[in-house]
A = this chain, B = another copy of it.
């Protein structure tokens, strides 16, 4: 039997854990008591958290946990928390006063399907839910460290800070450095945290978990760079969201500051940087390690 080519290892792994993550999302959502709450808010919570999604953050979290010898179940709570923060950020970013998007993952955005107030509230509720899931996961020595790491990554010096820089940069002429800074906050911070939370779930001490930062940083940049490339070259139908929008509204993108050729060069360079950062982690050989090794080229070659 031929061995799976290296470049497929991440895709195979993603397919493998997908149903586990989906089940955990639905299961953890049961922490929220439906009986005593607004029916619309309850529906909006399900709509935004359980709708279609690539589940990249939970996948990275479970991978890092397994790469340290942990069981994937140990990282599920953290994976759900990360996806909840990601889902809330999409709902708020899509608001009329932010990116004003009507389409997300092929469906109407929350403020279109429900209303603006519901979109603000469901985002707020999802953020609280993320910290509830982390803090209620039971005996885990690193649960508090996970809360701290997620809070840092989600907040003013992370994801929210990146979105603020992104809003300010709209229509402005910006430097490559400025685009890198806003992307690191907006997308990178949570992707980096995903790996660290997974390592923490495996019981790795917080100082050691920090060693994932370089790999996480490169992966985050790759993710954003390929996102920018797709936005500039693919159709809305393929993407499930409005294509070409970034350019139309004068978003500060890597494509805008580098051009498409420069962007392709950046992607190639980040693939090499990610691969060497992963080697530096000196992980023992395992299916998880192989999937992680395949991640950079998987991202570089993605078509949606």
**A contacts, CB < 8 Å to B:** 32-33, 36-38, 40-42, 45, 88-89, 92, 95, 97-98, 115-118, 120-121, 123-125, 127-129, 131-132, 134-136, 143-145, 147-148, 150-152, 154-158, 160-161, 163-165, 167-168, 181, 185
Contact = CB atoms under 8 A, between A and B. Distances in A.
Given A40-B164, A41-B164, A128-B154, 6 more contacts: A117-B164, A124-B124, A124-B154, A124-B155, A125-B160, A128-B151
Contacts of A163: 121
A164 B39 CA distance: 9
B156 A32 contact: yes
Contacts of A45: 156
Contact of A155 (B32, B36, B95, B144): B32
A134 B145 CA distance: 11
Contact of A136 (B115, B148, B185): B148
Nearest to A165: B38
Contact of A129 (B38, B98, B156): B156
Nearest to A133: B151
A37 B128 contact: no
Contact of A37 (B116, B124, B161): B161
**Interface residues of A, dominant DSSP:** helix
A165 B118 CA distance: 11
Interface centre among A88, A89, A132, A136 (most CB of B within 10 A): A132
5 contacts: A92-B120, A95-B120, A118-B164, A123-B124, A132-B155
Nearest to A160: B125
Given A117-B97, A148-B135, A41 B156 contact: yes
A156 B125 contact: yes
A41 B160 CA distance: 9
Nearest to A132: B151
A124 B121 contact: no
Nearest to A181: B36
Contacts of A118: 164
Contact of A135 (B117, B124, B125, B147): B147
A147 B127 CA distance: 13
A151 B28 CA distance: 14
A127 B129 contact: no
A35 to B, nearest CB: 10
Nearest to A42: B156
A129 B116 contact: no
A292 B121 CA distance: 33
A41 B143 CA distance: 29
A150 B136 CA distance: 12
Nearest to A95: B120
Contacts of A129: 151, 155-156
A230 to B, nearest CB: 25
Given A148-B132, A151-B128, A151-B129, A38 B161 contact: yes
